[in-house]
Structure 1
Amino acid sequence: MLDIAEELDRWVEQGRDFAVATVVATGGSAPRRPGAALAVDAEGTAIGSVSGGCVEGAVYELCRQALQDGECVLERFGYSDDDAFAVGLTCGGIIDILITPVRAGDRVRPVVAAGLRAAAAGRTAALARIVTGPADLVGRALLIHDGDHGHHGDPHGGEPHAGDRHAGGRYEGGFGSHPELDRTVAAEARAFLDAGRTGTLEIGEQGSRCGAPLTVLVESSVPPPRMIVFGAIDFAAALVRVGKFLGHHVTVCDARPVFATRARFPEADEIVVAWPHEYLERTRVDARTVLCVLTHDAKFDVPLLQRALRLPVAYVGAMGSRRTHLERNARLREVGVSELELARLRSPIGLDLGARTPEETALSIAAEIVADRRGGSGVPLTGAHTPIHHDTAPARAGRIGSVA
C-alpha cells in the first residue's frame, strides 16, 4: 500500500475510514508486483490498482464489505478456463490479495497511519503485516523505522511503541502478547528494508512463537535510487530526463563549470562541479545506485572507473566507441583493475537499439539498466519464450524456524 502512500496519508489526515487491498503474492504473468494496492473509502472513492483492470471490480466490492464488517480477507484471483466471463486474470496469472479495513478505532490504524506518513515524507521504513496465521493476528502490523534513528525501548503489544534497536531498529505496533514475534519480524523486515525490497516472509511454527506458522508481507519505503551521470554533455541531458522518469534521484557531475549548469540540466536533482573520481570517493552510494560515465575522456574515465568498479553499486556503464572501449580497458588494466572488476563494466553503454540521437541513446542506456536490474534478456518478446516479467530478487525471503 505504500505505493499510494501520499493519497492515503491525506485520507488519514482527513479522518476518512478506508479499506486497502494489497497484492501479497503473484504467479505467472500477473500484471502487478507484491505491494501494489487499491484503496476504497467509506464514500466509495477508489485509488490505486492491483491488477491493471482485470479484477478491480471484484476487489472494490471486497473493500466495501471489509469496511462494513471490519474483517481482513485474503483472496486469490486467477484465470478461469471454465467460464471466460468469470472474475479472473485474463493474462493467465494468479494474485493473492489481502484486504484490510483501516477505520477509526481499529488496532491497525495507528501503525498503518505512521507507515503512510513515513512513506509520503520519503523516509526509510518498512511495514510488516501478517497475511496468514491465527485469526487474531491476521492484518496486525508492525512498522520498522530506519535503524540509524530513533530510541530504545521495551516491545509490547497494542498501541504504537518503540522497540528494541538490536532486533531490527526502532519499530511501532506489534502482534499483541507476542514480543518475541515482534522482534523476529522486525529483524527480518530490516533485511528487506536494507535491500529496498517488498515481498513475503514465511515463519514456521517454531519460529513464530505463537503456535502456528505465519506469512508476513513486508513493504519497504526507501528513498529513490541514485543515478549519477558523469559528463555534462547533450546525451547527459536526455539521460537525466529518462532517469527521472524511471524514478531515480539524478546527479550530474562534471569538472567543467561552464558545462555543469542548471540551465543545461533543469531536471537534475543535483549538479556537482568536481573531478568525477573525487566526487565518487566522497558521495554516498549503495546497491541500487547506477553510475553512467558519458565523458569518454581518459583523464576522467580511468580514475573514475578504477574507483567505480570496486564499489557495491548496481550498474556501471561507460560511453564510447568500441575502439575507445578497448583503449580504456587497456588503461584500466595498467592501473591495476582486475579482469573480474572489468567484467562488471557495461561498455559500450546501452542496448543495441540502433540509437543515434541523445534521446534514443538515453533510452538504450535506460533499457540496459532495467534489464540488468530485473534479469531481462534484452531480446524482443515477439517469438521469445522468456517470461514477460522478470525480477532478479526472489519473491520470498525464505523460511524461519520451519518445522519439518
Structure 2
Amino acid sequence: MREILPALDRWYTAGAAFGLATVVAVSRSAPRGPGAAMAVGPDGEVVGSVSGGCVEGAVYELAQQVVASGEARLETFGYSDEDAFAVGLTCGGEITLLLRPVTPARDATFGAVAASVAAREPVTVATVTDGPAPRGATLAVWPDRAAGTLGTPGLDAAVTADARGELALGATVLRHYGPRGERREDDVAVFLQSFAPPPRMLVFGAIDYAAAVARIGDFLGYRVTVCDARAVFATARRFPPGVEVVVAWPHRYLAGTVTDERTVICVLTHDPKFDVPLLQEALRRPAAYIGAMGSRRTHEDRLLRLTRAGLTADELSRLRSPLGLDLGARTPEEVAVSVAAEIVALRWGGTGTPLGATTGAIHPRPGGAVRGRGRRERPEAPDPERPEAPGP
C-alpha cells in the first residue's frame, strides 16, 4: 500500500471519504500478496491494485458500497483453476480482501500513519478483519507509542506487543486473538501490516556495473548507497537520482553503518585492498545478501586472503561469489538483472529454475526464504579486468 499512500493522504487531508480494499490473506497462485491495496476515492478515482486486473471491477463496486454504508466487509475471491477464467480470477488462486471506508471522523490515526510512512518512520497498522470486535477498527503502533483501539484494552495490549515484534522484522501477517487479547485461533482476526523503512542496498565500487545495480536496486524498493574511496568515480552524476553516493574507504564506511537482516551488500570494488577488509567487516554482521563480483580465479584468491585474515568457514559460507544467477549476462544492465534475480530468489526461497520446468505453487509461502547462508556453484561473473570472462 505504500505506493498509493500519497493519493490516500491527499483525499484524507481534504476530508473526502474513500473506500480502501486490502489483501489480508491469499492461497495458491494469488497474483498479489497480503498488504496489496486498491482505493476508490472521490469522483470514482482509482489507485492501486489487488489482483493485477482480475477482480478490480468487482472491488470497485464494493469499495463504493462500503463508503455508502459506512460498514467494513470481508470478501473472498477464488475458484478452481478450471472455473477461474469465467469469473475473473484467472490465476486460480484465492484472495481475501478487507474493504473499509476511511474518513478523518472514522480513522483518526490515518494521517499520522501516512506521515510516518512518508518520513520513513516505522509503523504497523493493526486492523480487525473478522470476529467479535468492530470490523475495520484500527490501531497504529510505533516503536514508542500507539494510537487508536480495536475494542478492548486487553486486545490492544496484546496486538501492540505483537505489532512491535512484526515491525522489527518488517513483516505483514494475519493473527488471531480472544476478545481480551488471548492468543487463540478461533476468535478475533487482526491484520498486522508493517511499514518498516525500506531495506538498504550497499553497493561498493563506483564502476559501470554499480550504476546498473543501483538502478535496479532502487526499482526494487531498496534505499541504495554507492560507496567508493575514489572521488573521481564516486560522483552523483554517474548514478540514478535518489541514490546516495559516498566517498570513503569501503570497510570504514561499512563499520560505521547499521545493517540488519534485510540489508543487501554488493561488493563490486574488484581490488583486494578494498575487497578483503570490506568482506571481513561484511561477513561478520547482519545482512540478507552479501555478493562479490569477480572471476573464479579472483574468487579463489579472495577466499584464500579472507581465510588468512581469520574468517571461519561458516562466515565464508555467507558469501555469494561470483554474484548473480547464470543468465548468460554480458552488459552491466544484464548483470544487474542477474544480481537482482539472485537477491529475490534468496529472499523468497526460489530456485532460479524456469517456471515452465517446475510444478506446484508459483509463489512460495512466506517463511521459505534462505537467510544468506550457503554458497552454490555458479558460472563466473564478468571480470572488469578480463572483458572476455563470461557473465552471470
TM-score in terms of structure 1 length: 0.86
Q: Aligned letter for 1:130?
A: V
Q: Aligned letter for 1:98?
A: L
Q: Aligned letter for 1:362?
A: A
Deviation, 1:86, is 5.0
Deviation, 1:263, is 2.5
Aligned to 1:163: none
Aligned to 2:125: 127
Q: Secondary structure at the match of 1:110?
A: coil
Deviation, 1:245, is 1.2
| RMSD (Å) for aligned C-alpha atoms | 2.2
Q: Secondary structure at the match of 1:352?
A: coil
Aligned to 2:220: 246
Question: Is 1:230 equivalent to 2:204 in the alignment?
Answer: yes
Question: Is 1:74 equivalent to 2:79 in the alignment?
Answer: no
Q: How many residues align?
A: 369
Deviation, 1:321, is 0.4
Is the contact between residue 128 and residue 142 of structure 1 (CA under 8 Å) also seen in structure 2?
Answer: yes
> 1:72-121: per-residue Cα shift (whole Å, max 9, x none)?
11111102568667534121100010111113532xx1123322232233
Q: Aligned letter for 2:51?
A: S
Aligned to 1:97: 97
Deviation, 1:187, is 0.7
Deviation, 1:205, is 5.9
Deviation, 1:394, is 6.9
**Sequence identity of aligned pairs in percent?**
56
Is the contact between residue 129 and residue 139 of structure 1 (CA under 8 Å) also seen in structure 2?
Answer: yes
> 1:225-247: per-residue Cα shift (whole Å, max 9, x none)?
11111111111111111111111
Is the contact between residue 214 and residue 240 of structure 2 (CA under 8 Å) also seen in structure 1?
Answer: no
Select 1:280's aligned residue among 254, 279, 304.
Answer: 254
Deviation, 1:360, is 1.0
Is the contact between residue 309 and residue 345 of structure 1 (CA under 8 Å) also seen in structure 2?
Answer: yes
Q: Secondary structure at the match of 2:175?
A: strand
- The change in CA–CA distance for 1:290 and 1:56 in structure 2 (over 3 A counts) is same
Is the contact between residue 81 and residue 92 of structure 2 (CA under 8 Å) also seen in structure 1?
Answer: no
Q: Aligned letter for 1:234?
A: D
Deviation, 1:131, is 0.9
Question: How far apart in 2 are the matches of 1:386 and 1:80?
Answer: 15
Aligned to 2:111: 113
- The change in CA–CA distance for 1:84 and 1:245 in structure 2 (over 3 A counts) is closer
Question: How far apart in 2 are the matches of 1:207 and 1:21?
Answer: 25
- The change in CA–CA distance for 1:70 and 1:394 in structure 2 (over 3 A counts) is farther
TM-score in terms of structure 2 length: 0.89
Q: Aligned letter for 2:71?
A: E
Q: Secondary structure at the match of 2:155?
A: helix
Q: Aligned letter for 1:233?
A: I
Question: How far apart in 2 are the matches of 1:240 and 1:41?
Answer: 35
Aligned to 1:259: 233
> 1:209-259: per-residue Cα shift (whole Å, max 9, x none)?
999722111111122211111111111111111111111111111111111
- The change in CA–CA distance for 1:186 and 1:3 in structure 2 (over 3 A counts) is farther
Is the contact between residue 373 and residue 391 of structure 1 (CA under 8 Å) also seen in structure 2?
Answer: no
Question: How far apart in 2 are the matches of 1:300 and 1:220?
Answer: 36
Aligned to 1:23: 23
Q: Aligned letter for 2:113?
A: G
Aligned to 1:170: 145
Deviation, 1:297, is 1.1
Q: Aligned letter for 1:271?
A: V
Q: Aligned letter for 1:393?
A: G
Question: How far apart in 1 are the matches of 2:355 and 2:298?
Answer: 32
- The change in CA–CA distance for 1:104 and 1:378 in structure 2 (over 3 A counts) is same
1:5-404 aligned within 5 A:
5-80=5-80, 87-106=87-106, 109-134=107-132, 136-145=133-142, 147=143, 169-176=144-151, 178-204=152-178, 207-208=181-182, 213-267=187-241, 269-390=243-364, 392-393=366-367
Unaligned residue ranges in structure 1 (runs of 5+): 148-168, 396-404
Deviation, 1:203, is 2.2
Q: Aligned letter for 2:220?
A: L
Q: Aligned letter for 1:142?
A: L
- The change in CA–CA distance for 1:211 and 1:287 in structure 2 (over 3 A counts) is closer
Question: Which is further off, 33-42 or 310-319?
Answer: 33-42
Aligned to 1:159: none
Aligned to 1:151: none
